[in-house]
Structure formats: structure tokens, C-alpha cells
Structure 1
Amino acid sequence: MKTIRILPKKKGEEEGGVHLPLPPDAGRGGVSMMSLASGIQLLFSDYSLHETTRMEYASFPAVFGFGFCLSGEILNQPGGFKAADAIGPDQSAVFHFTGESMKEVVARRRVIRLNIMMEPEKVEAFLGNELQMAIPSLHKLLRHPYRAFDSLTPAMKAALLQLASCPYEGRIRSLFMEGKALELMACKLDQLHSRKGPAPPEPGLKTGEIDRIHYAGELLIADLENPITLSEAARQAGMCRSRFHYCFREVYGMTPFHFLRHQRLEAAGRFLCEGKLNVTQAACAVGYASVSHFTKAFRQHTGCLPGQYRKKEPAP
């Protein structure tokens, strides 16, 4: 598997930001980093890889922030976390990382993603006491390593699409990016407030449980056409069903059901892009007995019909 290292910004590059293009043999597009006067740091990714690739971010600081993923398939493991989380399309997150590095395994599909980050000690001063009172759990999240996932709202999607198609350059681009970042922060904070915030951090999983969940994940995708049942996966992981579901969500960032559905539809997308199978064959290959059910699920997952997928897959 190819590895790409994303290095930190050099001194003097912070004001206007820096764009780090992918090597031509790895893919198209790249990663943009920008530090704003407010203390906010932006990490905006818009790229397509030629193959599944390992991305390593060196000297990644301890940060609190918000993540927004419009498209892409990423297995993310920041420093300080033993387990990796699956990050996928239409997903938002709040996080607190304490490590000095971040590693990801990124699939071939186009990635459009924004991380908005601040140093933890600056967050409370930036957000203000009133906001801390409105979202009490936000104060707790600043004290512990934590990740919590949710969906993208329509407003978040609109802002991300505008970022991805920003027509400006130079200082005007910086102003535009900052404005959209603040808009996304407001959307995410409103989401946290309306749901009364994410739950306080729970005790971490034991190493043995993490290994068993990874084993169960491998079992679930070993045969996408005829996968084992979730009950059987829990049994083979040596857990009761409720504990299995809790641990699975902690490790992968989604339920076992959504993990399996996600893997099926991603595999079908690869088959269709490579031209190996037609729509009916792709549906059968990933375990869908009904082409109509497959078509509906695929459209919800990718935003287009299976027959249009190859043509409509966006390019940077």
C-alpha cells in the first residue's frame, strides 16, 4: 500500500495557508492548511487517489475541533487512540485529540473534507462562557480525548460544496474560507445544542475487546454476498449482542448494520467503476437480492443511480 506523508507548515506559510498537492503517481488534488487570526486552523482535503493509500500527518497538534466529510472513505486513527474510526460521506464529528500524529487509510473514492481545529486552551475563550453554559458537555469534552459522530445537515453540505468550488484566490480566498468555517462551526454547535450535546466520555474499551471487534468486522465483510448474521458475529467475538453493538460503534464509529451496508455499497461502486460487472451483477455480488432495493440504497449512499455512477463520480 502506498504511503503519503503530510508535513507540517513551515514558518511564514501560516498567513495565506499552504496547499500540498498529491504526488502525480498517487492521485489528483491535495490538502490545504490555513491558520486564521482567530486561532482557528483549517485542514481542507479535496483529492482522489489512484488506489487505497495510507496518509500520515506528522506533528499533528493536540486540538479540539469539528470535522465534516462530504465524500470519501477513511479509516482514521489520531495519536492517543488505540482504535481507528471509519469516516464516511455525510458525516460530521466533534473531537479532542491529544497525540502528535494522525494516520489514515483512504479509499480510492474522492475525498471532500474539512477539519476545523483549535488548541484546547483557546476554545473556551473563543466560544465564550454563555456557549459553554448552553452546551455543558462541551466543557467536559475539552478535558478528555474524545470523538463523537453525527450526520451532516443540509446547511453543512451546502457550505462544504461552496468550499470545494471556491472561485477566489489569495487573501479573498482566505476570507471566504474563514467565513465558511465559522458558518460550519455554528451549524455543528447548533446540532450539539439541539441534541443536548454528545454524552460524556465513557470508560475506554479493553484491548481484547478492540481486537475482537476488528475480528468481527473482518468476518462481516469476508463474504459480502452471503455475510454472517450480526448475532453470529457477536457470538464469534465472544460478546453479548448489546455489548457487541456498543463496542463496534466505539471502534468503527457506526453500528454493525451500517458498517456492513457501507462496505457492500462501496464494493459495488468499485465493481461499477472498474467496469467488471453491470448493475444487476454488482447488486448480486454484494448480497442484494432485489435490484430495486440496491438501486435505492446506492442512490442514498452516492447521490446517483448505479448506472450513472461511473460518469458522475466527481473529479477534483
Structure 2
Amino acid sequence: MFCYGQVKKMHTQIKEKIFKKASLDSRQERFNRFGTRWKISPEIGKGKIKTLSFKSGIQIYIYDYNTSEKLVRKSCSNFPVFGFRFCIFGNTRLDMKCLKKTLIVKDSESGFFYFPSMEGSHEDMPGVHIYKVLILVKPSCFLSLMEDEVYKIPMRSKITLNDKQIMCDPFNFTGIITPSMRMILEQIIHCPYDGATRRIFIEAKAMELIACKLDQLKSVKHKPKNHSYLKSCDMDRMQYAGELLSKNIETPPNMLELAKDLGVSRSKLYNNFKQVHGISPMEYFRLKRIEKAGVLVKNKNMNLTQIAYSLGYSNSSHFAKTFREYFGIPPSRYR
């Protein structure tokens, strides 16, 4: 079975037993060829890492943990790999042997990369919630999926159709995590199915996530040459607009008032905001509101009806429908 740099081969510079293999529940025991879970040692933090492997040549890592100490993970894998990275929360420092410079993976960032070797180290800072999904694809699988389209990817050199003799320089393309990507990520993380249905669902969603990232890359590649770049003051205004929308989740924003507060026209607010955040102000507001809903549902301090009204939803049914569309499961099951 295809496997690149399994977690078993990883070791750390902190302690020998950073990862403590979890006692698998019955479902994991039945499908141990499909998924494995590791827990972070209670001595340094809490959380887990999940790996999901598929016969197609796709492997998924789901990271969800906090540590009280700096965590350095090393990978000794020297296999070539195409990868798709989605960092929902947290920052990670990557020092890869195949790269000349250190790569910093940032919060809310997505990436598409090719590394001729995964050998290197991954460093997470203490006290930061690491919440991300990594999809690794065997080169022969990726090239088979892309067929002739692979040559439309803006790589610095062409590649052959033989993953054992791949001729390509390492590359890394980054962008934002779009609302569509976030929705798919939550559906993968909170998959409501079991057994074969679970395998089929997660693999299909991984393919959908790959398609979203490649489409984003295609859109950036074909952006008009006369595309205007924002001044630093306009960038600051749009960052501030995002902060205002995030802080006032309970009340839907009035775009005219928001534009007036920022000293710009409504059309300039829309265009500049989308250029900075990748989505419109209202889409950004809805995204932050449903993310806040997920946090409140997990906290269990309020019942679901209270949460719905506290976030400005018209009724609990509308809230439950919106929640399920985003997370893939109803709020009661998510809780």
C-alpha cells in the first residue's frame, strides 16, 4: 500500500514519546488499514493526529492538537509527492531538504506543492492550536488524474509520466482557504459515516478539495495583467473591516455604514475586500458566524436554540440547516 512518511517514522527532538498511539475503538480496529490515530502525550499537550490511506494512492493527515512545548517532528521519507495543504489554525515552520529556504505555513492558508522528498522537519510553536489537513498524492496517481492538463500547471520545469523518474523542480503555491474549501474540510473532519461508506465519502471529499485548490490556482494564473494592487492603506482598511465583521457576529452588517466607517464607497469596499480576503464582506461575515457557532456548540454552555438566537439566526431550524450544510452533520451530533 502506498505510504509517504508515515507518522510511525516520525520522531521528535523534544521527547522520545511525543506521540502515544491511541487505544483504537472497534471501528478503527475493523478498518485499521484505512485509518490510524495517534494521541499527543499528556506530558506536553493534548490532541491527536489521524492518518487515512486509500488504495488510489491518496493519504490524508488530520492534525488537531495543542502543545505546551515547542514540537519538532522529523520525516525521513525520501519519496516524491504532490501535496495539498489546508491550515485552518496555527503556524508551522517547514525546513525541507529539497527547499533552499524555510517555508512558513500560515493560519487560513492553503497550498499546493511538489517535493521530490519529504525529508525534513516540521516545527510547531507552543500554546498554538494546530488544526490542519494535509493530502498527499502518489505522483503516478496525480499524473493519471490530470492527464494532459498537468502541463497547464505553472511549474518551473516539465514532468514525465513516470513517478520513479519524475523530472520536476520542487514548487509551492499558496493561497487562502475559500469558504468552499472550509466547508469540505469540516465535512472530512466530522464525517458522519462508518465503514465502507466513510472511506468512499472521505476520499470523494478529498478529490473535491483538490479540485477546489487547482481551480483557485487556475484563476490566479489567468488573472488579468492589469489587475490593480492595493495600497498599504487600503490593505489596512480591509483588514480592519474583517476585524469589525468578526467582532460583531450577532448583528448582520450594514454595508453602507461599514463603508462609511472605513471612508470608502460601497463598491470600493466590496472590490477591495474581495481582493484581500478572497470573498465578499457578507460571505466573510457568514463564514465567521458559522465558525463561531461551531465553537459555541462544542462549549455546551448554551442550548442550541440559545446559540441560534445569540448569533442572529432567525430561528433554530435555519441555524440547524446552515450548520449541517457547513459541518456535514447536525449541531446535536457535532456536540
1:276 matched to 2:301:
yes
Deviation at 1:29, TM superposition (A): 0.8
Aligned-pair identity (%): 23
Q: Summarize the alignment of residues 223-242 of structure 1 with structure 2, pairs less than 5 Å apart.
A: 223-242=248-267
Deviation at 1:67, TM superposition (A): 3.2
Task: Give the aligned partner of residue 296 of structure 1.
Answer: 321
**Normalised TM-score (structure 2):** 0.52
Match of residue 210, structure 1, among 235, 250, 262: 235
Q: Summarize the alignment of residues 148-163 of structure 1 with structure 2, pairs less than 5 Å apart.
A: 151=180
CA RMSD of aligned residues (A): 5.7
1:306 matched to 2:331:
yes
| Cα gap change, 1:294 to 1:189, in 2 (>3 Å) | closer
Deviation at 1:155, TM superposition (A): 11
| Cα gap change, 1:113 to 1:212, in 2 (>3 Å) | same
- For 1:190 and 1:218, the matched residues in 2 are separated by 26
1:147 matched to 2:175:
yes
- For 2:175 and 2:62, the matched residues in 1 are separated by 20
- For 1:211 and 1:161, the matched residues in 2 are separated by 35
| Cα gap change, 1:74 to 1:299, in 2 (>3 Å) | same
Structure 1 unaligned spans of 5+: 1-12, 33-39, 88-92, 119-124, 167-179, 311-316
2:135–2:206 contact (8 Å) kept in structure 1: no
1:85–1:251 contact (8 Å) kept in structure 2: no
Structure 1 residues 159-183: Cα deviation after superposition (integer angstroms, max 9, x where no partner): 9899xx99xxxxxxxxxxxxx99x9
Deviation at 1:74, TM superposition (A): 2.6
Match of residue 220, structure 2, among 192, 199, 208: 199
| Cα gap change, 1:226 to 1:129, in 2 (>3 Å) | closer
Structure 1 residues 14-37: Cα deviation after superposition (integer angstroms, max 9, x where no partner): 5886446645253221387xxxxx
| Cα gap change, 1:106 to 1:292, in 2 (>3 Å) | farther
1:86 matched to 2:111:
no
Structure 2 unaligned spans of 5+: 11-18, 20-38, 52-56, 75-80, 95-101, 115-120, 158-170, 196-201
Q: Summarize the alignment of residues 63-78 of structure 1 with structure 2, pairs less than 5 Å apart.
A: 65-67=83-85, 73-74=88-89
Task: Give the aligned partner of residue 134 of structure 2.
Answer: 114
- For 1:246 and 1:222, the matched residues in 2 are separated by 21
**In structure 2, what residue type is equivalent to 1:212?**
R
2:251–2:312 contact (8 Å) kept in structure 1: yes
Match of residue 29, structure 1, among 48, 65, 86: 48
Aligned residue pair count: 260
Structure 1 residues 3-57: Cα deviation after superposition (integer angstroms, max 9, x where no partner): xxxxxxxxxx95886446645253221387xxxxxxx99882332x469x99998
The SS at the match of 1:304 is: coil
Task: Give the aligned partner of residue 258 of structure 1.
Answer: 283
